Amino acid sequence: MQILVDADACPVKEEAAKVATRHGLVIHFVSNSHMRLPLGDNVKRVVVAGGVDAADDWIAEHAGVGDIVVTADIPLASRAIKKGARVLSHAGKPFTEDSIGMALAMRDLMAQLRETGEARGNNPVFTPADRSKFLQGLENAVQATKRASAG
């Protein structure tokens, strides 16, 4: 079991590293550029070269059954789910086989509405409550993955 984090726009790097350390898990922070990361023997930095989707491609290639992927990128979440990984958003919301289709459809709809000017992109403020939800969501994902591998 490992945690793979889509790190370029991730607001919960410290929180993810704390959970990984507590459970003795390796955590990979994958990004397109060098960035400040939490320290730890279990913390691995992966800086990919290439295009916009290079980090996503690396994560999708290395994710598998028993792994946890942290991302806000819905297409990446879909790819990771297809590989058998558990996927969690930065806000702690799990993406599942049951929910990913609707998430992809909403993403496409919102993109179309932004293109036509009927909607504007908004990035809501990331609050301490969001951090707390993420911590709980990641803890739940780790526990569920451990239970699944033990059974």
Query: Which CATH fold topology does 2-150 show?
Result: Rossmann fold (3.40.50)
pLDDT value for 119: 63
| Residue 2 pLDDT class (50, 70, 90 cuts) | very high
Contact 58, 2 (CB under 8 A): no
pLDDT value for 122: 61
pLDDT tens digits, one per residue of 80-130: 999 999 999 888 889 887 766 666 566 566 667 667 777 666 666 788 999
Task: Label residue 117 left, alpha or beta by phi (over 0 means left) and psi (-120 to 50 means alpha).
Answer: left
pLDDT value for 104: 59
pLDDT value for 69: 97
Task: Label residue 92 left, alpha or beta by phi (over 0 means left) and psi (-120 to 50 means alpha).
Answer: left
Domains in the chain: boundaries? 2-150
Contact 37, 45 (CB under 8 A): yes
Own/partner long-range contacts of 117-126 (Cβ < 8 Å, ≥24 apart): 126/11, 126/90
